[in-house]
Structure 1
């Protein structure tokens, strides 16, 4: 059989890998939405290359600043989901979500494009995401950054990171990394349906052996150097040497969905964070009866609107 036609592995209707090494993405491949002015929200977006060598870029979002009389706005760095292997900030659903969040929360948002696995296995996405965050921080207090939307309109005393699914995993990882420079510190981290896992089930998490093995295969596909599902990068509760009390921010919100396979991991993370000796403020919100990233699949639903309202409050609270 032709190795370019023979499937080696297919996981979660996201990615198919052929024996030849060819990768086929089964989702998250919608035609990119051009940057520009969104007529529904008045938000303007543009694309920016951050590191041409590694292909790191971002879509920046700016609300209608004529309404804010020169006020400095919170800065939000957002990491998209997709199991580290699909989607992008330029897709219709992420552009739509960031347009809405930018308008309602009145923030300057930076939605990061990081390299995708399996062509670029982890830690590439972590490296790219931290590099993008440091690039954003370089605009603080007269720094070297040259992006006017950030230097002129950003309040770096209110810097937030957020993400959904794999993007929430990334948001946790960058918040555990020190060294943004210029005295910049992350104020808050929003984790939406975070992609964490582990060898042993927690709470009411599935005990189905096939499902758990499939989850670990996906993790090994995107991170082939891993030691397994208790690697601290996928299970931040497993590594006592990297305690959660080192999370470098003032407050955290963890969003979980009642029908999400990852729900118990988000709950456990929240509980462990509170017990860790971390000095910040943590909150947990659950949408009963909803599935993973429901807010992207059905943004007009009442529960998606409620999630948006919680994020807006989180980003604007003193």
Structure 2
């Protein structure tokens, strides 16, 4: 009989395993890189604490051409990893956001939220909202962070994230719509391969061998959930979807990603909800989930980067 130190009670390979004795083994996403001046783009980054008593922080990015006389759009970014792995200090996200900040000429706040199972949902949502409010606290020239006070146009704020981070970005957009944030205008969302689901399978979900994996992962990170039709997980189940607090949404999907159909469905239900904004979908042909992080120089990743840069720099609708 296996001992409690080797018996696996939750197996979410290739991301994580949890053992009977409570030990958590993260199989990937553990690497971190220091903040720096990127030698390729010249983008500066630095780490800040937002609520150190509970471990909320962020990595900030500022382009080398930033000028206090020319305010820039702000992107608040939420990393992916199924709510259980990765961080704002991961090389995947550090390299990606250096490139995005340089391409789009924006300021970026990459949020580091607490992970499950040490901190089950809604911890990641609560932490992200604390970070969003911290950002907003700088809008009137207050706050302690000079990169935000000196360089950000708080009337051009965007939220984005990939996978679980795309889920967070949507839910933060919903909170802006219901609770408001004084001093900032949330112009748009970019949801990349967002981690959405539902009780009733759609498209390629029906016969996917990964269906139970997705559903079990959601229940693992959010034990108090009502299930796959939880409005946090299935935006179509939210009767208040029309109150999404921005006026533009870009949904990015990948042809070979299990979550692709949920991205297209998100557009459909958002339009039908009565929301007054504009939503569009960009599909990357032949690509897998979060391909742009793992293969950032491929043709589709470069096209996605340019599309995002354009999205962030459109005139405010």
TM-score scaled to structure 2, two decimals?
A: 0.95
1:14 aligned residue: 15
1:157 aligned residue: 155
Q: Name the SS of the counterpart of 2:203 in structure 1.
A: coil
CA distance in 2, matches of 1:20, 1:78: 34
CA RMSD of aligned residues (A): 1.3
Q: Note if contact 1:134-1:180 (Cα within 8 Å) is conserved in structure 2.
A: no
The range that moved more, 186-195 or 69-78, is 69-78
1:166 aligned residue: 164
Q: Deviations over 1:254-297 (max 9, x none)?
A: 00000000001011001111111111111111011100000001
2:198 aligned residue: 198
Give the superposition deviation at 1:168: 0.3
CA distance in 1, matches of 2:71, 2:235: 34
Give the superposition deviation at 1:180: 4.8
**Residue 263 (structure 2) aligned to one of 262, 266, 269:** 266
**Residue 294 (structure 1) aligned to one of 275, 278, 291:** 291
Give the superposition deviation at 1:203: 2.7
Q: Name the SS of the counterpart of 2:155 in structure 1.
A: strand
Give the superposition deviation at 1:65: 3.1
Q: Note if contact 1:141-1:182 (Cα within 8 Å) is conserved in structure 2.
A: no
Q: Name the SS of the counterpart of 2:46 in structure 1.
A: strand
Give the superposition deviation at 1:181: 3.3
**Residue 304 (structure 2) aligned to one of 289, 298, 307:** 307
Structure 1 moving runs of 4+ over 6 Å? none
1:255 aligned residue: 252
1:282 aligned residue: 279
The range that moved more, 176-185 or 250-259, is 176-185
Q: Deviations over 1:109-149 (max 9, x none)?
A: 00000000011000000000011011001100223x11000
CA distance in 2, matches of 1:229, 1:148: 42
CA distance in 1, matches of 2:56, 2:306: 30
CA distance in 2, matches of 1:82, 1:190: 17
Within 5 A, what are the aligned runs for 1:49-68? Answer: 49-65=49-65, 68=67
TM-score scaled to structure 1, two decimals?
A: 0.95
1:124 aligned residue: 123
Q: Name the SS of the counterpart of 1:104 in structure 2.
A: helix
The range that moved more, 17-26 or 196-205, is 196-205
The range that moved more, 5-14 or 50-59, is 5-14
Q: Name the SS of the counterpart of 1:177 in structure 2.
A: helix
Q: Note if contact 2:140-2:183 (Cα within 8 Å) is conserved in structure 1.
A: no
CA distance in 2, matches of 1:181, 1:164: 23
Q: Name the SS of the counterpart of 1:65 in structure 2.
A: coil
Q: Note if contact 1:162-1:168 (Cα within 8 Å) is conserved in structure 2.
A: yes
Q: Name the SS of the counterpart of 2:169 in structure 1.
A: helix
Which sections of structure 2, spanning at least 5 residues, go unmatched?
Answer: none
Give the superposition deviation at 1:183: 3.5
Give the superposition deviation at 1:4: 1.8
2:48 aligned residue: 48
2:102 aligned residue: 103
Paired residue total: 312
